[in-house]
Structure formats: C-alpha cells, structure tokens
C-alpha cells in the first residue's frame, strides 16, 4: 500500500486508509450539492480528500474513525496535495486489514508501556501512595492502553498518554539520582496520576479525540484526578488532611504551574516543581518531534505550532 | 471607655483594648534595646502602640489576640497618631470585660447569620444538594459563627464569612426573581459552599486571621471545598459523575472566574456566572464600606485599597 | 406563521419575516453570478438564507431592516439549517403585518420602560442632578424607546438600552437598602446616564445596530455622555468644578472600571464602584440568558460567547 | 552662594536655599524626639537635610516651598551626602534674595515661552479652532507662566508645561513640512491644549507639584480639557457634533494612545497619531536630559527612571 | 494608461500592469478547475484579478513580480472592485515599458536617497564610527537603492529602507540642535545601521518582500547588524569591548525598546532612546500616510491597520 | 569552628568567617554615629552582623570579600538571629586559614567540572563547532573555574557556572539517547556556550557577584556570546551565513525562549528548544535545592523565591 506521505501529484491511488474525520459540505451556486469532506490517514501522515458525488446513503455510511477502501486521483490544490475520490467503501473483515495498522501510535507497544507504568507503581515504597496509584490505574482500566494525551497539543496518538507517562518516568529516574533531595515516591506517583483523568476529560477512540466530555469541560482533568485521589483515600480510610494526601493532591493541582494554564495553586514542593518541568520538557520535545516528522521535509519548515507558542520549526538537512 | 477612633493628640488614656498584634523590635544604636511594637484595637478602629521598656517577662506575656489594660499617652508620629504605653497588663476575669466586646464583628449577631444560612440550606428543594450542603455546614461546626472571610481583602472581621454568605443569599433571592431561568437550588448551594473551606484554608481566632494553614497553601479553599463535596457525595452513595455533583463542583471551581484568580475552570453555567458576579459585588462593596468607615473622614481619602486594584476611595462630605 | 426556531429540514415555508441583513455575494467559477446572502429573523431566532437568482432590480430593492414575504425550502448545510428562497418580495401595507411584531424586543413594553426611567429620574432628591438627568433624557428623545444597548455584546435588541437601565435601577434600589451608606441620588443618576450616549455612538434602527457613528468612533459614549452633562450643567448655570458635577461625571467616566476597557479614570467613589458592578452583573446575566435562549437547546451548548470571555454556556436539561 | 551640586563632605555651609519639602519625623528609642526632615534645593540639584533640635515653633514655621537661610555641616550617610542643620530661619525681604532664583526653571524665560504659545495660537488659520484655543489659554491665565507639566515624570519644574508645549510646537512645525498631508491647524491646537488642564489636575506652586486636586483625581486632565473645549464651543455657539470639535476633542482624548495609559479612545486621525508621537518624544527626551543632568556624573549611571520603564541611563564620559 | 486607483465598475481595460502576486486556486464543485488568482498593481494602488481559463502553460509562465499586458472587465464583488481577465501575456522588451515605472517607490529618487545617506555617513566626526558605518554601507551594496524597510508594516515599497533612513536623519539633525547633549555621531551612525540588516533578513525584489530568509528567521535583523559591526570592528583591529563599539551595538540592540518587540536590552543611552523614538515616529507616520493614500477616500476610513495596533484611520474631507 | 547555621541565641562566638558584604550605616538621632553593617558567612549559611563602634580606620580596612576573625554575641532581632561584634580584624596569612574554605562552592571540585566541560567539548564531532567551542572556553580562561552563573537567581556560588553547565550536559546526554532526532553536537555546543559570556556580563570574585559590568548592562550575556562566536568563526575563516554558525548563534539567542526574558528570537530548531528546557529544569531545580538547604528547616517554609515566580517552598519533614 502506498504511504500517504509518499503520494505524488497526478498519481492514481487504490488502497485502504483510515477515515479520520468526515464532514458533509455543500458546493456553492444555484444548484448546491452535498459532498463529503474527508481526512484520510495512515501512520505516515494525512491528506484532505473530497468525495463529490455523495449519495444520501453515503452520508449515513461513513463515520470517523473507520477503515475504508478508496480509489481516486492525487492533485494539487492551493499548494497542497488533495485526493479526489471516485470510489469509496468501508473495509470489511474479509479484506484482511486491521484498522490498528492504519492509525498513528506510540513507537512502543501499549502492553509494554502499561507494564512499565505498573512496574513503576509497584516500586513506590510508601504503601498508601502505592495503593492510591494502583486504585487510579485500575479505575482507568483498558483506556490506559490506547488513550492519547491530548486533542492536538502533544502525544495525540494511540497510547499517547501511556507513552508520555513512561518517558516522564524515565526522566524522573534520571533526575532523582542527579538530585537525591527529591522524594522518589511522590514524584513517581505524581507522574503516573498527573494526566490520568484525561481519560474522563476527553472522548477518544483509536487515539483520536473527538471532543471534551461534559465532565471534562465543567471540571477539567486536574480537578478530576484530585477527586479520584480523594475517593481512593477515603476508600482506604485515610484522612484527607494527612500530609501524604495533601502533597499528592498538590502535585496534581500545581502541575500546570500557573493559574492561566489551569493550575489553581502553584508548585510549593520541589517534587511539584520537578513534575511540572519534566512534563513541559517531554510534552514540548514530543510536539517538536511529531511536527518535524509529519509536517516538514529536510531543509523545510513546519507551520506555526500552537504547542510552541506559534513558532514554526526548521528541519535540519544534515549538519 | 474612650473609642480608639476618638483618640486625640496629647490625651492620656487608661482603658481596656484588644491587643491585635505583637512584635518584638529593637532600637537602633550602640546599646539597642528590645521594645514591644503593638496594635491596639476596638471595633471603631486601631492604633499603633509602643511599649519601650519591655522586660523579658513582658515579651513572654503578651500574645495576640488578647484583652489588655493600658495606660499611656497619645502623640503624633509622621502625621499619624501613635500610643506610647507606660503601663500594660493582661485583663483578668475580675475586670469584668469580655474580649468579644472589643473585636470588630459583623453588624448582625452570629446566631442570626447562621440561622439565615441554615434556613436557606433547608429551603433547597433538591434532596441531594440539600443533604450535601448540610453535611458541609456541619463539618464546619462552630467556625461558621466566627470565621472571617479573608485575611485582609474583605469581610476580615468576626463572623465575616457568615455575613458575606448571608448578604450574597439576599442578593441571590432578588436575582432569581428577576431572572427566573436561573436554578435557585444550585445557586443557593453554591453561595453557601463557595468560601466554606476558608475555615480550613485559614487559621483564625476572634475573626483575626493569623496565617494560611499548610493545607490552605498547598490545596486552597476552592479545591478543599470540592474535596468536601466529593466526600459528602460518596457518603450519600452518589456517583461523582452525576450531573448534580458535576454542576455543584463546577460552581465552586469557577467562582473566581479566571485562572489567574485561582479558578481552574471558567463559568459555563448561568448559575456559576451569577455566583461569581454576586460574590464580586458583595466583596467589593463591603471592602469599600469598611475602608470608608475606618480609614477616611468625611471629605477625605482612604489609602490605596488592595481589594480595589489599589485605588483609593473618597468619602463624600454630604451631597 | 411558523417561528424561525421551529423550522425543520425539508420543510417548505411561506411567510413574513424580518430581513435583518442583506449582502450581495457572487458564486465562484468561470461564470460567476451574483446572489443575495440574507439573514431572516423573527423574535424566536434567525436563519441564513440565499436567494440565488437575484436580478439587478432585486439587488436594489432589498435593504435591512425590512419586512419581506418569502417562499422557499429549509435544508441543511454544514450541520446548520439554511433557507433557499425561491420567491421574495417586500411586505406591503395591505399585507396587514407590522415589522415591529417581527423584531426581537425587550420583554417589557418600551413605554413601561421609559416610564420606569422617568419615574426614577423624578425621584432624585437633589434638584441639580434631577434637572441634568431630565435634560439628558429629553435630548435622547424617542431613541430611548427603541435603541439597543450594544451592537452585539448584550441587550442588542429593540429597547435593549431602556431595559438594561430599568433592570439596573431595580438592582440599585435593592442595594441602596442593603448598604445605606450609598448615595441613592448619585447612583440613580449614574445608572440612567451611563450608557445614554450610546444613542449618539451607534446608528441603529428597530433595535439593530448597523454601525458606529463618526462621533462614536472618535469620542465614544463615555466621553459623549460627559459632554452632555457639561452642556446641561452650563445651561443650568452650574460651575463645572462643583462637587456634584465632578462626582456625576466621575461615575460616567469610571463605569468601565479599567483603562483597557475604556475608562480614563478608575472608580474612586463607592457609588462609582456600585455602578460598575451592577452594570457588569446585569450585562453578563443578560448575555447569558439571551445566548441560552436563542443559541442552545436543553442539554446542549452555546458557541463561545464574546461577552463571557469566549466561554460557551451549557443549557441545563432540568436539575 | 555655594551650589548644592558642588557640596563636598566635611564642608561647613552658610547660605540661602529653597526649602522644597518638610516632614516632621521622630527619633526611635525610649525618649523619641521630633526632628525636621527637609529637602534643600537650588537649580543645580537637591540634598536631604535634618534639623534635629526642632522646637514646637519650628514645626509651625517651616512649610514648602519657602526660601530659608541655613547653617550646617555636609556629611555622608549611606553613600550619599546629607546636610546637618545647626541653624535655620526663613529668608526675609531684607535679605535681598528672591525665591525665584532658587527654583529649577525651564531654560527659557516664561514670558518668551508664553509668547511663543500665543503666537502659535494666533497662527491657526481656522477661526473656530483659533478662538477655542485662545479661550482655553485665557482660562489658564497666569498659570501658563509657571506650572510644571507633571509631578515627577517629566518637565517637573517652573514653567515646565509651557516649555514642553513650545518644544512640541517646534517639532510639529518641522514635521508638518516633512509631511504636508497633516493639518497644521489641528495639530497646533492639539499640542497647545493636550496638557493644558494639568493646571486644574495638579496643585502646584513655584513649579513644584504638591498633590493632585480633587477634580484631577476624579476627572483627570484629559477629560477636563475636553470639558473646557465643550464650554468654549458652546460659548461660541458651535455644535458639539461639528467635525471640527469632534476632531479636536479626539486629539485630546487619544493623546496617551492606549487605554491603560488613560486614553478612552485610540488615535484615528493622523494628527492624533502625530500628537501622541511628538508628546512621547519630547517627554522622554526631557526626562532623559534632566536625569543625566541632575542625577549622574560623567561615566556614571542614573538610578532606574520611572519615566523610562525603570531603566537607568549612562552618562557618556565623552565619545 | 488608466491608473488602477481610477478603475470604475463596468469599464473594459487594456493596459500594462505590475503582476504583484500569483496564486493558483481551484473552483469548487464536482469538476473543479484551476484558475489564476492575481494582484495587479501600479503606483496608485492595487486590485484583485482572476484569470479563470488558465492553461497549464499559463501556470508556468506567470510569476511575481513581472510586468504584464492584460485585457479584461472591472466588476464589483463583495463591495470591492475586481478585475476579470480575458487575455494576459508578459510584457516584452518591444512593448517599450519598464517595470520600474509600475512599482510603488519612495517619492525621492534612490540615487538621491543613497547620496543623502553616504553624505551623512561622511559627516560623522569619529573616524572609527565613520569607518564602520561605511563598511556596512558597502556590504549592502546595491540593495540600499531598492530594498523596502519591511514586509508590510511600513515603508514596504521600492527604496523604502533608504527613504526611512533619510527621513530619520532629517529628524535627527533637527533634534540634535534642539537637544545639544546628544552625541550626533552616535545617533547618525545608529540611524544608518539600525535596519540595515533587513537586506539580509528579507528576500525582496523590486521593493516587494517575498519572504524572510533562513538567516532572517533564526537570527533577525537586529543581531545580524550587530554581527556586521563586530565583523567591521575586527577588520579595523578594534577591541570589541571599547566603549565606542559597545555603545554602537547597544543602539542597534535596543532600538525596538522592549523585549517583546525584539530588543534583548532596553535603551540606556540617551542616543539609544532618541533612535527608538525617531524610528517610531517615522515608521508610524509613514504607515498612516500610506494607508490614507491608498486605502481611504476623503471622508472615509482605512481598514484596521496592523502597524497602528489595529486601529483604522479616518481621512479628513477638508477641515 | 562553629558553623553559621548552628549559631544559637545567647552564644558567644570567636572564629574566622567570610566577610561577604560591608556597608557603612548611621544610627539615628541628634548625635548619629557610623557603624558597619556586615554579612558574615561560611558554606553553611550567612548572618547579619553589626559592628557599632567603627573607627575611621575600620571603615577603610574592611571590604568584601575578605576573611576576618570576629568576637561577638549572637542575639535575636525581629525573629532573626543577628551577630553583635565586639572585635574584628582581617585574617592574616599566619592564621593558617584559607578564604576558599569559607565560601559556598559547587559540590564538585572546579577542576573536575572544567575537565567534564572540556571533555564534552572534545567529543563534538563537527570540527568547526568543536573549534569554536574551544576558542570560547580558552577566552574565558580561569574564570570558568570559579564564576557563579548568576547574581542571585540560581547557581550563585563559586564555580556555579561550570556546575550548571555540567549538570545540563548530563541531562543532554540522557535526552539525546531518548530522542535520537536531536543533533548532539549542536546541543552540546549550545549548552557549553549559552551562559559563557556571564563571565563578561558580571563582575564576580570568589563566586560572589558584585555588579553587572558596563558591557553586561549595554549588551547582555546573550549578545556577547554571539559576538564571541562571530569572532571565533571569522578567525577560522568561516562564513557568518553558513548554516552551522547561524544555527549555533540561534541556539544562544533563543535560549531564554521569550522576548520579555531577553531572547530576541524564539526557538525554531529542536535543539534550541531542548537547550531552553534543559536550562529551565536545571536552573529551577538548583534554585529550589539551594533555598531548601539554606533557608528552611524540615517542616518549615522558605521565603518567597524570586527564581520561582515568588512562591515559597515547603521543606518536607520526611514522607
């Protein structure tokens, strides 16, 4: 199958691709017609596609995410490649293709990521913290295997959340050796839980966020995670004002650092500061890596990146 | 007893006053001596006082807040009145004076304020919300009778918290009639709970805040109140993701309106918006009233007020 | 007549509606044609409409606001309903329809609103303030019956200005009882005059603002109202530096609270502070009520609202 | 008489100096004593001075600004020179010294400055604008000869206001030649009137501002000047909505450029933009010149300057 | 030839115009076609133009900037004039038209501007500064004759950079007389060099910037100019820490005044302050003049201008 | 010798300490006397000290930094310990004490730090980058062994600069393994050079910054380092516009990330982003570690920390 990234103007394509988003639009003019405005994708990238002759049935058949077989022509529109579909149908089991092969995923297998997280959780020495972290991991259940970490800013792919946590854990293990005054238990617990309630804040399938949930909009993942900790602590019979619980909740509450970024309190424990800085480093480096990988050729530029204060990045040819 | 506000330069004073703060300072020079730097107060106002000949025993005797008997002279220092103490001793029970007569209080009796709050709580139609509100009121216990609402910004006096809530409830009753689309239950519940965790955030005695608590610094009254609601909801066997709980927690979380003012989410329910606006109106008008009352004479100006973005207020002579 | 809000996809409609805005646009392509891009409205809501076969005469016939009779089909375009017009003509007197029945208006009759305002003006005890307020009311003349309070932020409907003032007066009457240290005369006068020069700042017809006037852009309604007070005071023979005039002008000048919101001075009288806070409360609650009413179904969300710092609102199903 | 700038540590001084500010302070300790904390000045600079043995009569004798004869010793205190006064008395007419010789003044005679301003006013071609400008000049009367332009930011000396205006007029004459599309009448009128109401906003004597006036605080010099223009226009029988008046008021209202700097509207005429930019250039260059002149030696630095966003300036040795 | 500014709706035009930008776009619909989306210009203004029937050859023939001969019809589209091209071809030498007659240029001949700049450079008394300035002028070479000063903010026309510098030099000559404490050499050198590296930061042809260069994006014209000064100083054998070099580099580094505007240090020499203020004045007045000239008719408004904090300007009818 | 951190109220102390700062102050009152206001320090902490009976000779003898022998009494002043000196003299060589044993230093020997840096420099594969880095290291010379990295924000101790660089190099080695798309050469070079010009920006002795240099104020360490790179590149005969030089200068210029933090351009290479994030992480964690170590006891709080946006940190008792 031809990779999306390798599409060339003028080429005819037949193949299976992920239908990542579907919109019904209408042509202009006295006799406007509905058409399907689609995004086709595979792990190498994505392309805008149009299906001009959409029937009423078509409009009720195609939803994202779904694996489809398409036939069509690559052409150029406003300096970008676009795909004009002549035929499209949903993939069937008989086709022998699995949608999971067509979505962007973390470069590490989800099972390995979850194993790394549960191993880190098991290594927490303090029994209370370990118990609470495990409760929260169990609450998330299978979502830890596949949820992305965000809608668009960073780690927006299959298992992006687990991958983000694992990379932060690696950094944390390095830093607690470099700076022994940090409490490892608290930092590890904070890293595992800091974004865990994104699984409640966001509605996602196959690593693709479709929207913020009702609860996500009104409460947000920071306060949701604090609620989960409260719930677990009460179930274990712990006092909510015990220093351990207060500190752990503080790490979650302060990990966005500033009020305007969503944190109601600012970091006042060194582990809270470390959590914030490790989170920043991993999220921004991943956003940079993904943008260079999918949006720029060597010697070229990405578009301005929202995750990097709207600055574009240059992709080195080679030094 | 002469009111503090009525002190005149040159006057000799003997009387009972509230010792509101105590500091040990030192004179300059080759033979520096310790002295007590005090604030004396009664409900009419406060005055800076010095006790120059403090003995070691004196330094261990006087703590704030405490009722003391003093003798001394009013004089003027850098355009302000100051009180030079020649004799000072703690009040004893035999003196027949009660410290509660000497502190600034809400202009309504605490019992009446708490009665108004519990009556409002009882009027909530929704049984779940009513139950949760009552749980939180009981958790606060006696502190609702005397806690101030803040350290210095507004309602910083005995029963200031309850007074703030009652005034907001009055405004809310007016506004839900003016705008019937608002849900009265939710708004009443939100008003009663919005600052209730200040009783855990602040350490206060006799309406005077001495400091922020450990929990107050690391979690803050907004997230603390959310924890209380979680705890109550779980005890009642409610689901944390039920719309009622999500909405009530949203009202608390968003009542400071902006991230930089401490709210991790912004108001997205009309009752949340109303709660924020009523809170602002009552807090700022009270800050204005108090400042004019205690810091300005007719035809004069208050100092710049932190609660009003550092603007001073003018006290009208009479229109 | 079918209400706009009740239109259903696929329905054919014949009826009278308000033509709220008219634009001449052009189809794309080698043979572009002009068409009319319209907004049809009634008090229940509004809908985008297209008249594809516009003749040269049509382009010179239709202007906003105007009552029209239309025939056409409701269809769906990009997830929103749209109206495709097959026939359109201006309403004629013989049709027996009055445009005023088709525009969004304050929920109280304009006469009643103006009566409430003039009654409040008459209740001002201070003769000078009363005289000045009445002068300004007379200067506005009939516009007070129908002007909106803004172009789009809040109270953007027929008699929206008067309605905003009346609601604020109600709040003020409540608050001057709650806080007797406020001067009622000054606050009432300030409320009546605070937005009165919007009648000069904005060009509006039937409650619909078409644009800012030349004077409105260069001077703004705040300084315009101050000019009116100056003019009235001079006509009455008053000194511009009299405390009354200075205070009244201060209320107007400071009612947006901050420089970046257009106030050259910040509130330094308690009545100025009260005016600002009452204005905020009424404007934001009205913006919320209107948005929920016209832009969201129960259980749904409004779009992000400019009047509420770009936050959307959720419309409760029922608690 | 020895210039203040030339005082040297250890020197005994007898002479006449300007008493620029007087404060009554108190020594610390068990037997605190009142003393006079003074600033002595002449046009070359100023020095902090103490009169330790102030009697009750002294405290009622000395007020700023006043010419005094002092005897005392220059010594060094915290790296700065200070003057310890042993004798002090008010200058009497018999001493033959004039206070005006001891204050900092514009480097051009006030009469010449006022002549330059009235000449510029007379050169305005448009009769209405000329009439209004002249009315305002006459309203100010003698204050135009001596008022400073600000309390501390720039041109805070005798005739500083007139000097600022004259310098701006010079720049304007140059720029209207460079850019003939600018309307000279409007720009000249705007420059003469832009700060003219500082004479009402500030209370000043001998070029020294003691405070903001009541009217200055509540209205501000920008809106005051607009009131003056309104008053003059009405007296001349002009319509306040005539383009001329609107434009002139716009220039005044917008000359601080941004809302946060006090302008309720932003420049929307090229002359308004020019007025703002010329004002900035002259005010900042003067602040720089004064700071270098009085606060830094060659090769040294001024303290951080409030007028220059708290940056210090370096005084070149010589290039 | 008809001036672009004089085009009237309905008119047929044949003539030579500057092709200022070329884009290939596509019509909507089931059979989308490519068309050329062009901007035609002459010194009087510019107009959007469409060439609907573009062949493959056409798409490879037309690039900006280029002189073309066109035939077509002026019509109105969305309240603006648009040009529908029926025939288009590149101008050939035989046509006898020179592209330079069709581009917007500074109102002074480039040779005269460069002469003024080199004369000013030659008048610098200090030999080192003069040598460095001349080195930088020679490095720029011919670009000084034609480069614009910016992409869109101000002086975006042929020889705009040189014109900006010459106008600033005129202002500087006036101001060094008004304020003799300024060092003329430093200020003249700073003005000539402040934007000189725009010739490396921007890629421009015929006064039209097509993009920022790689070096321009990563280093920026401020640091580039500092590099040039370093290079010249080293070539002359000067120490980089000599006061002269430090001061000259400081002028360049600080001329945007604030960090958020791109200056890593803030002005701390009076000449640096003067450079910044003169730059502001000239850039903003030119942006205003150009906008009024090309975007507004008498009695009309420009669109909001990015160079003026998004405020529109009003073009006076006549006073 | 008793450690400063172990001083107890009431204790008499005789010993050698570092004189870290010296000020001459004056007692108040009619007969003011000069005294020495000192800070004594050793690696464990510092204490305010007063020498009340300073003679003229004393004032000319003591300068910071210097090793002194003192005798005196520890007492308490405003809740803090203070040291009242009865005798003080400079240490002499015969005392057998070395000042370097009394200053706060990096926890790794300077030679080892410099060795780590030069080893990292030698490991750069690209010959040009390696050559330039080595040139800059040699230019710094011995200062790399002892300079602090800042005046007060972070790493303000002996060899703080080298320690900061070495820690960042450790982090970088970890991250280039985690994220192989980063160019190691560029990142290592950027880390070594990013703060290297602090040695020219600051004047420091024994790890204590006394002030910013003239060049430091006018140019700043960011642009100074860029100048150094330019100088080295020219000496090697490289083109300043070669991609290597542009990229390396970009890393230095952008490492403060935002204009308001001093960076004239923002990171647009992934290595520039990594440099910024590693710098942040190391600087903030070090500031936290130092503050907890020297300013808080277990279970207590540091004061608000400027390096952490004025938030205090809590020092855990033990989890």
B296: confidence class by pLDDT, cuts 50, 70, 90: confident
Give kind and range of the element (H or E) at residue A50: strand A45-51
How far off is chain D from E40, nearest CA to CA, in Å?
27
By C-alpha distance, the chain C residue nearest E299 is C214
**F289 vs A179: CB contact, 8 Å cut-off?**
yes
* Chain C residues close to D259, C-beta within 8 Å: 258-263
Neighbouring chains to C with at least 3 Cβ pairs closer than 8 Å: A, B, D, E
How far off is chain D from E254, nearest CA to CA, in Å?
12
Tokens of D159: 């005739």
Report in angstroms the alpha-carbon separations of B172 from A220, B160, C67.
27, 18, 41
* Chain B residues close to F77, C-beta within 8 Å: 26, 32
| pLDDT tens for chain A, residues 1 to 319 | 788 988 988 899 999 999 988 888 877 655 667 889 999 998 888 899 999 888 888 888 998 889 999 999 998 876 778 999 999 999 999 999 988 889 999 999 999 999 999 999 999 999 999 999 999 999 999 999 999 999 888 899 999 999 999 999 999 999 999 999 999 999 999 999 999 999 999 999 888 888 899 999 999 999 999 999 999 999 999 999 999 999 999 999 999 999 999 999 999 999 999 999 999 999 999 999 999 988 888 999 998 999 999 999 999 987 5
pLDDT tens string E113-124? 999 999 999 999
* Chain D residues close to F218, C-beta within 8 Å: 314
* Chain E residues close to D174, C-beta within 8 Å: 171, 174
Q: How much is the ipTM here?
A: 0.91
pLDDT tens string E202-235? 999 888 888 899 999 999 999 999 999 999 999 9
**E24 vs A52: CB contact, 8 Å cut-off?**
no
Residues E80, E304: Cα–Cα separation, whole Å = 16
**C79 vs A218: CB contact, 8 Å cut-off?**
no
The percentage of residues in chain E with a pLDDT greater than 90, rounded to a whole number, is: 75
How far off is chain C from A305, nearest CA to CA, in Å?
22
pLDDT tens string A211-228? 899 999 999 999 999 999
* Cβ atoms within 10 Å of C273's Cβ, excluding its own: 25
Q: Tell me, yes or no, whether chains A and D touch by having 3 or more C-beta pairs under 8 A.
A: no
Are E173 and E191 within 8 A, CB to CB?
Answer: no
pLDDT at residue number C30 = 57
Angle at D78 between CA D77 and CA D82, to 5 degrees: 30
By C-alpha distance, the chain A residue nearest F185 is A319
E154: confidence class by pLDDT, cuts 50, 70, 90: confident
pLDDT tens string C232-287? 999 999 999 999 999 999 999 999 999 999 999 999 999 999 999 999 999 999 99
Name the one residue in this structure whose structure tokens are 């014209």.
E221
Are D65 and D205 within 8 A, CB to CB?
Answer: yes
pLDDT at residue number C319 = 58
Give kind and range of the element (H or E) at residue D70: strand D66-77
How far off is chain C from E47, nearest CA to CA, in Å?
17
Chain C contact residues (CB < 8 Å to E) = 23-26, 28-30, 32, 214, 217-218
Enumerate the H helices of A126-159 as residue ranges: 127-140, 143-146
How far off is chain D from B154, nearest CA to CA, in Å?
24
Are F22 and F64 within 8 A, CB to CB?
Answer: yes
**B78 vs D23: CB contact, 8 Å cut-off?**
yes
Q: Which of B21, B23, B27, B32 to mutate to test the interface with F (most CBs of F within 10 A)?
A: B32
Are C244 and C225 within 8 A, CB to CB?
Answer: no
How far off is chain F from B24, nearest CA to CA, in Å?
6
pLDDT tens string D56-94? 888 889 988 899 999 999 988 767 789 999 999 999 999
**C217 vs E314: CB contact, 8 Å cut-off?**
yes
Output Rg (C-alpha) for chain F, integer angstroms: 22
Residues A199, A212: Cα–Cα separation, whole Å = 10
pLDDT at residue number D32 = 67
Residues ≥6 apart with Cβ < 8 Å to C229: C132, C136, C193, C245, C248, C249, C252
Q: Which of F55, F73, F77, F84 to mutate to test the interface with B (most CBs of B within 10 A)?
A: F77
**pLDDT over 90 at F208, yes or no:** no
* Cβ atoms within 10 Å of C111's Cβ, excluding its own: 11
Helix (H, G, I), strand (E, B) or coil at D31: coil
* Chain E residues close to C217, C-beta within 8 Å: 314
What pTM was estimated for this model as a whole? 0.93
- The residues spanned by each domain of chain C are 4-102, 110-291
Q: What is the mean pLDDT of residues F289-310?
A: 90
**pLDDT over 80 at E109, yes or no:** yes
**pLDDT over 80 at F305, yes or no:** yes
pLDDT tens string E157-184? 999 999 999 999 999 999 999 999 999 9
* Chain E residues close to A53, C-beta within 8 Å: 30
How far off is chain B from F52, nearest CA to CA, in Å?
5
**pLDDT over 80 at F89, yes or no:** yes
**A28 vs C33: CB contact, 8 Å cut-off?**
no
Q: Tell me, yes or no, whether chains A and F touch by having 3 or more C-beta pairs under 8 A.
A: yes
**B277 vs C281: CB contact, 8 Å cut-off?**
yes
By C-alpha distance, the chain A residue nearest C78 is A25
pLDDT at residue number D75 = 86
How far off is chain B from A219, nearest CA to CA, in Å?
6
* Chain A residues close to B260, C-beta within 8 Å: 258-260
Q: Which of D190, D194, D230 to mutate to test the interface with C (most CBs of C within 10 A)?
A: D230
F90: confidence class by pLDDT, cuts 50, 70, 90: very high
| HSE-CB of D207 using CA atoms within 13 angstroms | 26
**pLDDT over 90 at F259, yes or no:** yes
Tokens of B208: 């005077």
Please tell me the CATH superfamily of domain C4-102, with its number.
Nucleic acid-binding proteins (2.40.50.140)
* Chain F residues close to D72, C-beta within 8 Å: none
Q: What is the mean pLDDT of residues C196-206?
A: 95
By C-alpha distance, the chain D residue nearest E128 is D319
- The minimal CB distance from B27 to the residues D23, D24, D28 is found for D28
pLDDT at residue number D218 = 97
Q: What is the mean pLDDT of residues B181-190?
A: 98
* Chain B residues close to A231, C-beta within 8 Å: 230, 234, 240
Residues A235, A252: Cα–Cα separation, whole Å = 19
User: What are the beta bridge partners of residue E13?
Assistant: E72
Tokens of F97: 């004490």
How far off is chain C from D213, nearest CA to CA, in Å?
11
**pLDDT over 70 at F244, yes or no:** yes
- The minimal CB distance from F25 to the residues D27, D33, D78 is found for D78
Q: Tell me, yes or no, whether chains D and E touch by having 3 or more C-beta pairs under 8 A.
A: yes
Q: Tell me, yes or no, whether chains B and A touch by having 3 or more C-beta pairs under 8 A.
A: yes
* Chain D residues close to F26, C-beta within 8 Å: 77-78
* Chain D residues close to E293, C-beta within 8 Å: 181
**pLDDT over 60 at E30, yes or no:** no
pLDDT at residue number D30 = 57
How far off is chain F from B25, nearest CA to CA, in Å?
5
Chain E contact residues (CB < 8 Å to C) = 27-29, 33, 35, 52-53, 77-79, 314
Neighbouring chains to D with at least 3 Cβ pairs closer than 8 Å: B, C, E, F
pLDDT tens string A113-126? 999 999 999 999 99
Q: Which of E25, E26, E27, E29 to mutate to test the interface with A (most CBs of A within 10 A)?
A: E29
**C265 vs D223: CB contact, 8 Å cut-off?**
yes
**D292 vs E270: CB contact, 8 Å cut-off?**
yes
**E78 vs C26: CB contact, 8 Å cut-off?**
yes
**F26 vs D78: CB contact, 8 Å cut-off?**
yes
**A77 vs E26: CB contact, 8 Å cut-off?**
yes
Residues F22, F43: Cα–Cα separation, whole Å = 18
């Amino acid at each position: 199958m031809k990779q999306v990234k390798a599409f060339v103007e003028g080429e005819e394509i037949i193949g299976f691709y992920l239908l990542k988003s579907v919109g019904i639009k209408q042509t202009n003019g006295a006799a406007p017609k509905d058409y399907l405005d689609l995004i086709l994708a595979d792990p190498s990238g994505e392309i805008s596609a149009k299906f001009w002759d959409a029937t009423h049935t078509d409009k009720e058949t195609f939803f994202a995410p779904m694996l489809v077989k398409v036939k069509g022509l690559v052409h150029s529109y406003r300096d970008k490649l676009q795909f004009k579909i002549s035929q499209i149908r949903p993939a069937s089991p008989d086709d022998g293709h699995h949608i999971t092969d067509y979505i962007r995923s973390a470069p590490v297998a989800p099972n390995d990521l979850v194993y790394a997280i549960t191993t880190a959780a098991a290594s927490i020495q303090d029994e209370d913290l370990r118990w609470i972290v495990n409760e929260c991991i169990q609450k998330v259940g299978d979502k830890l295997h596949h949820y992305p970490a965000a809608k668009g800013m960073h780690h927006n792919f299959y298992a992006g959340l687990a991958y983000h946590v694992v990379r932060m854990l690696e950094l944390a293990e390095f830093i607690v050796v470099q700076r022994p005054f940090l409490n490892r238990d608290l930092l590890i617990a904070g890293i595992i839980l800091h974004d865990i309630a994104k699984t409640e804040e966001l509605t996602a399938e196959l690593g693709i966020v479709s929207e913020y949930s009702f609860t996500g909009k009104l409460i947000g993942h920071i306060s949701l995670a604090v609620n989960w900790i409260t719930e677990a602590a009460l179930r274990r019979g712990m006092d909510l004002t015990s220093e351990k619980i207060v500190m752990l909740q503080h790490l979650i509450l302060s990990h966005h650092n500033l009020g305007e970024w969503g944190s109601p309190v600012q970091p006042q424990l060194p582990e809270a500061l470390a959590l914030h800085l490790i989170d920043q480093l991993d999220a921004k480096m991943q956003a940079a890596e993904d943008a260079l990988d999918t949006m720029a050729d060597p010697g070229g530029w990405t578009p301005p990146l929202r995750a990097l204060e709207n600055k574009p990045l240059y992709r080195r040819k080679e030094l």
